[in-house]
Chain A
Amino acid sequence: MDAVATDTGARATAHGPPAPAPGLAAALWRHRLVRAGGGIVILFTLLALAAPLLTRWHVLHEPIRQDLNGLDNDGMPRPPGGAYLLGTDSLGRDVLSRVIYGTRVSLAVGTAAMLTATVIGLAIGLVSGFYGGKLDLGLMRFTDINLSVPAVLLAIAFAGLMDGKTLHLHPAWLHWPFLDVQLKRGVVSIFLIIGLVCWPGMVRVIRAQVLSLKEREFVLASRALGASDARLIFRHLLPNVLPTVIVLAAMTTANTILLEAGLGYLGIGVPPPAPTWGSMIADGQPYFISAPMIVIVPGVAVVLTVLAFNLLGQGLQEVLDPNRTR
């Protein structure tokens, strides 16, 4: 794998970045960490996608509706065993099934939030690194400001805005109802919030990469040939930043999933009765000493998923971007 990476680097010419080396995917897969992390991610994705089907085939239980058979005679959750492999929760629902359904929410929100953060982070990082000067200074200050508030607090503050009001993004005299955003809690507002909280973490790295790329031969050469700013950014910088961004994307997804769980735990994530890992942990708190599985299992799911993305990110870094010192 190392051979491929340096090969790629060495072959960069004045004409721009090299075409992707053949067998890159194979090289990626050869890396142990990528295999481990990527494998878990793929497995969870498959489970997430297959969940409704599995429920229809009665492999999994129904995740949302209360199930009185899942409660014993005192109305308490059942311990693991029998029809409920990992026990049931406070409303009798199978924990394992709910956790698998929770994968859907976490992966969806996590990925969407990561994309949001990446788009914003790329935009700001590229512009800031490329143009430098006062713009760079201003944008970096803005990033710093975002970084001085703990992510959770900022997310809660954002979430506090989501109380059902409608935000009119158009002036009053222009009736464009499609620009009316309803601020209520839901999947969309959650991933937007998390994305808005996570982008600052990406900007620094992207910017640093852009700064170093700016001075590379092929960029200077293109500039000398009279290439426009836009061309430089989109044709030369962006593709070369991509490996870094991909690595960052994997690591950021880990963070977004953690954040989503945290918000769900605080009760301001995706609203009930949607099965999310964070809200399951929160709901399981009162049953902690009598049925600890309700708290343990979703937590393990979070750890596995986040670990997977982190391992994937590290593996990808070692393959795609080994020269960058963190």
Chain B
Amino acid sequence: MLPRLLIRLFWSAVTLFGTAVLIFFLVNAVPGDVARIIAGPKASAVVLQQIHREYHLDQPVWMRFGYYLAQLAHGDLGHSYVTDQPVARAILTRLPVTAALAATAVVMWLTLAVPVGVLTAKYRGRWFDRGVLVAATLSLSLPSFWLARMLQYWLAYKLGWFPVAGFNGFVSLLLPGTTLALLFAGYYARLIHTNMVEVLESPYVRGARAKGLPELTVLFRHALPNALIPVVTLLGMDVAGLLGGVLFTENVFALPGIGTLAVQSVFNLDVPMIMGTVLLSALMVVTANLVVDLLYGWIDPRIKSGV
């Protein structure tokens, strides 16, 4: 187990590093304006020169990346070009809201998807099958920003069941969480459904049934765990998609999370902030994948030896 863990850790680190390289070069390909952004347009030539030296702007990109890595090793993510606040602090203040939102969404969609997937697998009927399929595909086809506005309009503004916007505690996460949940629930329901159907036909389950175990036990103790394995994998891969959806949703519901920060910083060409948010999202994705990978290996002993 341990060598496997180490190998995985190593590759995760490589991926993280690679992401940093990719984004750094992408963002720093924009020449010239950086010094002006930091100093403001009023800056004299002397001030600009000073900034060039301080931020190593006259050096080639790869050297600047080196300086950035050195800084990173000290836990310093730099200061925002626009507001001069420390990037790490800006991100950390906003992280709880985004994390809470993501967690709420995941819980909601699993709560929705698992029963639907299980039930539709158990009670198969043609129209039911097709219905779930279409609903699942529909949920995948919704643009997150539009869905967010629609839900906000009908459920919060017209009916008043939820707060319209702003962050005032957990209740403010319910509607945004529902938005994200709806986007993913369909796909997961269908996946669980497909897997459950397969598992329910398997000898393993038929054996359990033959032993005379009650149906509920068969469903939830024997069939479901097997059906959930690919779901776990998918969850890991969907973290990136989830973060993307969070971007728009936070915007519409005016939540003070990382999503709004990320969008603003990209528009302002606030390089340290961009790097910070991208690194954070990469870290979350990589960690999720790592956890999922290990979990998968632990659940399914056949994989332990594999690639």
Contacts and interface: CB of A to CB of B under 8 A. Distances in A.
Interface of A: 32, 141-142, 144-153, 156-158, 160-161, 163, 165, 254, 258, 261-262, 265-266, 281, 285, 288-289, 292, 295-296, 299, 302-303, 306-307, 310-311, 314
A148 B269 contact: no
Nearest to B26: A157
Shortest Cβ-Cβ A-B pairs, 8 listed:
A150-B244, A299-B146, A306-B141, A145-B18, A307-B141, A148-B285, A148-B282, A150-B243
Contacts of A141: 11, 14-15, 18
A285 B26 CA distance: 31
28 contacts: A147-B237, A148-B15, A148-B282, A149-B19, A149-B23, A149-B278, A149-B282, A152-B248, A157-B278, A158-B26, A160-B30, A160-B267, A161-B26, A262-B144, A265-B145, A281-B143, A281-B146, A288-B149, A289-B157, A292-B153, A299-B146, A303-B138, A303-B141, A303-B142, A306-B140, A306-B142, A314-B133, A314-B137
Interface in B18-71: 18-19, 22-23, 26-27, 29-31
Given A262-B145, A262-B248, A266-B263, A311 B15 contact: no
A220 to B, nearest CB: 22
B175 interface: no
Contacts of B27: 157, 160
A141 B29 CA distance: 23
A16 to B, nearest CB: 29
Nearest to B33: A163
Contact of A157 (B16, B23, B145, B243): B23
A145 B278 CA distance: 11
Contacts of A148: 15-16, 19, 240, 281-282, 285-286, 289
B153 A150 contact: no
B269 A153 contact: no
A263 to B, nearest CB: 11
B292 to A, nearest CB: 13
Contact of B19 (A32, A145, A160): A145
A152 B285 contact: no
Contacts of A295: 146, 149
Contacts, number: 126
B141 A254 contact: yes
Nearest to B195: A325
Given A150-B281, A153-B262, A299-B150, A145 B15 contact: yes
B249 to A, nearest CB: 12
Contacts of B141: 254, 258, 302-303, 306-307, 310
B179 to A, nearest CB: 13
A289 B156 CA distance: 13
A203 to B, nearest CB: 13
Nearest to B142: A303
A149 B143 contact: no
B274 interface: yes
B277 interface: yes
Most buried by A among B11, B140, B146, B263: B146
Given A262-B144, A265-B248, A310-B140, 6 more contacts: A141-B14, A144-B18, A149-B19, A151-B240, A151-B241, A310-B141
Given A144-B15, A310-B140, A156 B30 contact: no
A258 B143 contact: yes
A299 B143 contact: yes
A296 B150 contact: yes
A311 B26 contact: no
A153 B244 contact: yes
A310 B142 CA distance: 11
